[in-house]
Amino acid sequence: MALRITDECINCDVCEPQCPNNAISMGESIYVIDPDSCTECVGHHDEPQCKVVCPVDCIEIHPQWKEDQQALMAKYRTLTGKN
Ligand code: SF4
Ligand code: SF4
Q: What is the DSSP string of 9-61?
A: ------SGGG-TT--EEE-SSSEEE-TTT--TTTTT-SS-HHHHH-TT--EEE
pLDDT at 17 over 80: yes
pLDDT tens-digit series, residues 28-52: 999 999 999 999 999 999 999 999 9
Residue to probe by mutation, ligand 1, list 6, 13, 21, 57, most atoms within 8 Å of CB: 21
59 lines ligand 2 (CB under 6 A): yes
Model-level pTM? 0.94
pLDDT (0 to 100) of residue 65: 85
Confidence bin at 1 (pLDDT 50/70/90):
low
52 lines ligand 2 (CB under 6 A): no
Bigger pLDDT: 66 or 10? 10
pLDDT (0 to 100) of residue 66: 85
Q: How far is the CA of 80 from the centre of ligand 1 (A)?
A: 14
Bigger pLDDT: 6 or 83? 6
76 lines ligand 2 (CB under 6 A): no
